[in-house]
Amino acid sequence: MESRETVAPVSKKMLWAGYIVSALPVLLLLFSGVAKFVQPAGMDEEFKRLGWDGVRPTTLGIVELACTIVYIIPRTAVLGAILLAAYLGGATATHVRIGDPFYSPIILGVLLWLGLYLRDPRLRSLVPLRS
């Protein structure tokens, strides 16, 4: 028989703090993903400015929404955080390449992981900030 390591349950305060910290980046990513489907005026020009001419915004919208949904589901949240970190890394690289401010995707990624860290005891046991 395998021995299972016990993980301390998360307190309600920490759980709610994790949901609150996660809410902002999740809402921004959902809004951004939906906007790529709606394609408001000027989106094509912005994609060209970013060097993404010829790329359909809906393709990136599908990826963004899919990764965000995977993150929202508690059982797959760690996988979602990994996928969103990769997606946001690409966004950061795009902005760095053209000389735009690039802090927003980095901040979103940090908030995603911080929110998950606060609400998932398995992640805290894997990466303890103190012993």
- Per-residue pLDDT tens listing for the chain (131 residues): 444 556 667 789 999 999 999 999 999 999 999 999 998 888 888 888 888 876 788 899 999 999 999 999 999 999 999 999 999 999 999 999 999 999 999 999 999 999 999 999 888 888 887 76
| pTM, to two decimals | 0.86
Domain ranges of the chain: 12-122
Query: What is the rounded CA–CA span in Å between residue 25 and residue 35?
Result: 15
